[in-house]
Amino acid sequence: MTRRFPLLALALLAAVTAVASALAAQPTSSVSVTSTLDGKKVLPIRIRWIAHPRIPASQVAEVDFLIDGKVRWIEHTPPYVYGGDDNGHNEGFLFTSWLTPGEHHFTARVTAANGTRTPDTVTARVLPSPAPPAALAGAWTRTVTAQDAGKAQPQYGGTPPVGSWKLIFDRVGAWELDPTGSGLANEYDAESGVLHVYAPIQMAPFDNGQGGVSRFGHHKIGGTDCTAAGPFGTYRWTVTGTTLTLAPLHEGCPDREAVWEGVWTRTTAAPSVAQHGVRTLASLPTLPGTITEFPDAGSNNAQVRAGVDGNLWFTDRAGKIGRITTSGAITEFNAGLNPGSQPFSIASGPDGNLWFTDAGATSAIGMVDPRTHLIQEFSAGLNPGGKPAGIVLGTDGKLWFTDNSVSTLSGRSE
C-alpha cells in the first residue's frame, strides 16, 4: 500500500530538512570562541576560565574545557564557566595547584548544534603551588556528629554524612574525604595560625555525584560543599601534639563549617625542621618517611621555593641566594646582591623568576632568573627605612610584600 502524506506535512518536512542541511553545511569558520585566558602567558593558582562562543546560545550544544588535550570540565548552558555556576551566579574557578609546574595547553572547545567543533587554545605556564606549613601538612581525622551536621543548610543540597572524615593538606589543596568513600578538594592558603579556604578544585567533569577523580583510596572526588564559588572562609588553626583545632573566624559556607570546625587527630606524622637559624636544607615527606638533611656550611637559610627549572631555590641571610637539586646538590650565588644583603622571603613570580625580599644594609626587592642565575635588586619605590619581609604572588598576578619598618605596610611589585 502506498502511504500518502498531506501536502502541508510534506512542505514542513522539506523545510525542516532544508534548514538542517543548511546548518550542517555551515563552515567551521562561521563559529568562533574566545575565553578569559586569551593572551595570558602565566596563570595564577586561582583564575576564572569562562568561554564566550560567538554564536547564539540556542546553537551551542556543548562547551568542553580541555587541559593538555583531556576534557576536564563540560558546560551545556551559558555562562560557560570552568567549575560550574548557579545560572550566572557563584561562578567557579580554574585552580592550577594540581597541575605540574610548567607549560600547559588550555582549550575551550565549542560544539555547535550542527556538530561543528571550534577550539580556542592558550599555552600558558603554571607556577608551583606553595607547600602547607609543616605543622599542618598531612592527614587528620575526626568524627562528624549529627550535631555537627546540623550546622549545614538545606539549600546547598543536604547535610554532610555523619561518621569518620579525613582532612588532608598538601600542595594541591585541602582534601575533604567523607565516610562514604567520596569527597572533594578546596583551594586554601595557610600561614601561622590563620587558614583561608576558598572554593572547590575541579579536576575532572563532575555531575550529579558522578565523575571526579580518585585519590587516597576515595573515588568520585569533586562537586562542592556549598557553591562553585565557595564561598570563602577563614579559620584559626592550632596544632598541639597530634591534635589540630579548627575554629571559624568567618565562614560563608555552613556545610563546610559543619565538617571542618572541631578537633582533628593526626593520622600521619608531621615532619619538622627548625625554621630559624637552620644551617641545613631538608627533604620533608608529606606522608611518613625519612627526613634527609643536606649540610650548607656557613649559611643562615630562611625560606625555600620551587623554581620553574625543576630545582628548589632558597634564601640565605648570610648574603646569598641558593639552589638545591632534588638530589641534594647545593649551589649559591651572590653576584648582583647589594653589599650587606640579607635575603629572607622568596616567591615564584608570574614571569618564571624567583623574587625575594632583602632587609639588609640596602633594603630591596630582588629577583633571580633560575635559568641564567642573574640576580637583580630594586629599591625605587620603597619607603625610606623600609624593611621588606614576606612576599607572595597575589591572585591578580602581581607580587605583594610586607614592610616591617616603623610604619608597617604592604606593598606591591609589578
Quote the CA–CA distance of 47 and 92 in Å, as a whole number: 9
The pLDDT of residue 89: 95
Distances (CA, A) of 338 to 235, 313, 315, 357: 39, 19, 14, 12
- pTM assigned to the model: 0.63
Quote the CA–CA distance of 130 and 134 in Å, as a whole number: 12
Maximum separation of any 2 CA atoms in the chain, in Å: 102
Do 363 and 387 touch, CB atoms closer than 8 A? yes
29-126: which CATH architecture?
Sandwich (2.60)
Q: Where are the beta strands (DSSP E) in 101-193?
A: 102-112, 117-126, 138-144, 163-169, 174-177, 183-191
CATH topology of domain 280-413: Methylamine Dehydrogenase; Chain H (2.130.10)
Q: Which amino acid would we find at residue 175? A: W
The pLDDT of residue 120: 98
The pLDDT of residue 293: 80
C-alpha cell at 407: 610604619
Do 38 and 120 touch, CB atoms closer than 8 A? yes
| Domains 29-126 and 280-413 alike in fold | no
Quote the CA–CA distance of 176 and 193 in Å, as a whole number: 20
> For residue 235, which phi and psi values (nearest 5 degrees)?
-125, 150
C-alpha cell at 112: 555547535
Locate the domains of the chain by residue range.
Answer: 29-126, 138-266, 280-413
The pLDDT of residue 412: 61
Each of the 414 residues of the chain gets a pLDDT tens digit; together they read 333 333 333 333 334 344 344 444 444 447 899 999 999 999 999 999 999 999 999 999 999 999 999 999 999 999 999 999 999 999 999 999 999 989 999 999 999 999 999 999 999 999 888 889 989 999 999 999 999 999 999 888 778 999 999 999 999 999 999 999 999 999 999 988 999 999 999 999 998 889 999 999 999 999 999 999 999 999 999 999 999 999 999 999 999 999 999 999 999 754 433 333 234 555 544 444 567 788 777 788 889 988 877 788 999 989 999 999 888 899 999 999 999 999 999 998 877 789 999 989 899 999 999 889 999 999 998 888 888 988 988 767 788 898 877 555 556 665
